């Protein structure tokens, strides 16, 4: 029986597609996603969505119909999840991290060691920067019992792309533990990474200095250490140019992030302050997870064994949509307290899917 998923629900973007395909691979349920990206200015599949679906299809031996640029309907028929080494190329500056949003849950259920290389954009608009995945998302997935290696070989920025990331799972957990992330404990320190490629070193320095200055002005009195990443022009391997900064606040029980990207005509100081402002907003919410982590973790706790409880900085439309989607595909129970755009608490009784 094919499960029909309305891609226009909620945020009506690519996340419905990515989560649907991942859960299809893991559960073995055939899904048909209609009205794909119906609420976007240009509906239908883009290159990065096609890469995510194609990659998932290769890894879980799936048959896919409707897979073409601009398509608004696909049917995904999963097979067995494979292991081994795989390489995928988005072919543009399309987001590597959004492709990983599809592949990481699937890789956790592989029957053996699995490595995936993806070429595309690592630090591009409307998606988590790779340093956020490395330092915030990976930390929380570790708490769920999911350990993986993530190597950033080369960064890729809009519009040229060319980034390269390698992810490997030596011992797939084939299931996740439940988690209770209600409060944060005490703030211990703030770390960060400020980078620039095909640009002068002072760009990364100014981003970091502006971020730290704003945090100090707002009363943050714990240690702050922001690493700089830059390259001599003669040895810079990137297509570039591009820059960005990711900050993460380390608490006793959780890690909260904030980030910003550079752009043509955007001063480095503005980039640094933008990342610090996002981090401060999440910190001041008092919740255990920032806005983006709280929607990224939902598929994992929905698959986990046992009941999970999380609190989030802001109930985004992405999170709201993911809650609806996991309930529809997995048939689980979820208790949500909170309104869109405000802090929330979510309790999910996981499906307990293990291989």
- Domains defined for the chain, CATH in brackets: 3-180+290-349 (3.65.10.20), 184-285 (3.30.360.20)
Per-residue pLDDT reduced to its tens digit, 138-189? 999 999 999 999 999 999 999 999 999 999 999 999 999 999 999 999 999 9
Rounded (10°) CA dihedral 195, 89, 167, 56: 140
Pairing mode, strands 180-181 and 114-120 = unpaired
DSSP letters spanning 93-129: S-BHHHHHHHHHHHHTT-SS-EEEEEEEBSB-TTS--
| pLDDT of 280 higher than 80 | yes
pLDDT at 313: 98
**40 vs 259, residue with greater confidence:** 259
| pLDDT of 235 higher than 90 | no
pLDDT at 201: 96
Of the candidates 350, 239, 244, 237, the one whose C-alpha atom is nearest the C-alpha of residue 300 is 350
Q: How far apart are CA 183 and CA 168, in angstroms?
A: 31
Q: Which residues make Cβ contacts (< 8 Å) with residue 24, sequence separation at least 6?
A: 30, 31, 62, 76, 78, 329
Beta bridge partners of 251: 187
Residue 292 annotated in active site: no
| pLDDT of 352 higher than 80 | yes
3-state secondary structure of 286: coil
Of 49, 238, 292, 318, which is the active-site residue? 318
pLDDT at 1: 85
pLDDT at 32: 97
Q: What mean pLDDT comes out for the span 253-263?
A: 98
The rounded percent of the chain whose pLDDT value lies above 70 is 100
Region of poorest pLDDT, from 37-51, 70-84, 109-123, 246-260:
37-51
Q: How far apart are CA 320 and CA 323, in angstroms?
A: 5
pLDDT at 39: 86
pLDDT at 12: 85
Q: How far apart are CA 293 and CA 248, in angstroms?
A: 12
Mean pLDDT score across all residues of the chain: 96
Categorize the per-residue pLDDT at 232 as very low, low, confident or very high, splitting at 50, 70 and 90: confident
* Residues 56 and 102 sit within 8 Å (Cβ to Cβ): yes
Angle 312-310-24 from CA coordinates, rounded to 5°: 100
Q: Is 240 left (phi over 0), alpha (psi -120 to 50) or beta?
A: left
Per-residue pLDDT reduced to its tens digit, 186-201? 999 999 999 999 999 9
Which stretches of the chain are DSSP H helices?
Answer: 14-27, 47-59, 96-107, 130-132, 138-143, 201-217, 268-285, 291-296, 298-303, 317-330
| pLDDT of 239 higher than 80 | yes
Furthest C-alpha separation in the chain: 58
Per-residue pLDDT reduced to its tens digit, 63-99? 999 999 999 999 999 999 999 999 999 988 899 999 9
| First-to-final CA distance of the chain | 22
| pLDDT of 234 higher than 80 | no
Q: How far apart are CA 102 and CA 182, in angstroms?
A: 26
Kindly provide the residue ranges of all beta strands, DSSP E only, lying in 142-286, ordered along the sequence: 149-154, 163-169, 180-181, 187-197, 224-229, 242-251, 255-261
Per-residue pLDDT reduced to its tens digit, 292-348? 999 999 999 999 999 999 999 999 999 999 999 999 999 999 999 999 999 999 999
pLDDT at 13: 86
């Amino acid at each position: 029986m094919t499960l029909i998923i309305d891609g226009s629900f909620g945020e009506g973007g690519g996340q419905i597609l990515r989560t649907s395909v991942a859960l299809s691979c893991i559960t073995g349920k055939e899904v048909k996603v209609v009205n794909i990206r119906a609420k976007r200015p240009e509906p239908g599949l883009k290159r990065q969505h096609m890469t995510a679906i194609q990659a998932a299809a290769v890894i879980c031996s799936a048959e896919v119909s409707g897979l073409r640029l601009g398509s608004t309907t696909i049917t995904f028929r999963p097979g067995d999840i494979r292991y081994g080494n795989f390489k995928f190329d988005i072919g543009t500056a399309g987001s590597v991290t959004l492709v990983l949003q599809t592949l990481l849950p699937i890789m956790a259920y592989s029957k053996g060691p699995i490595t995936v290389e993806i070429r595309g954009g690592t630090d591009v608009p409307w998606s988590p920067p790779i340093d956020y995945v490395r330092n915030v998302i990976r930390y929380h997935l570790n708490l769920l019992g999911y350990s993986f290696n993530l190597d950033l070989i080369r960064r890729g920025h809009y519009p040229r792309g060319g980034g390269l990331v390698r992810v490997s799972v030596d011992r797939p957990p084939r299931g996740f533990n439940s988690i209770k992330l209600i409060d944060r404990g005490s703030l211990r320190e703030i770390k960060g990474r400020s980078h620039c490629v095909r640009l002068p070193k002072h760009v990364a320095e100014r981003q970091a200095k502006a971020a730290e200055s704003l945090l100090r002005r707002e009363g943050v009195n714990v240690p702050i250490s922001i690493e700089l990443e830059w390259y001599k022009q003669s040895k810079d391997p990137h297509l570039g140019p591009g820059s960005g900064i990711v900050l993460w606040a380390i608490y006793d029980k959780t890690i909260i992030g904030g980030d910003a990207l550079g752009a043509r005509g955007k001063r480095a100081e503005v980039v640094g302050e933008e990342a610090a402002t996002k981090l401060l907003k999440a910190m001041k919410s008092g919740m255990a997870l920032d806005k983006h982590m709280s929607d990224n973790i939902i598929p994992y706790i929905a698959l986990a064994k046992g009941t999970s409880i999380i609190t989030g900085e802001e109930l985004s439309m992405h999170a709201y949509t993911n809650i609806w989607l996991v309930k529809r595909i997995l048939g689980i129970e979820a208790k949500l307290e909170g309104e869109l755009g405000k802090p929330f608490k979510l309790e999910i009784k996981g499906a307990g899917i293990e291989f």
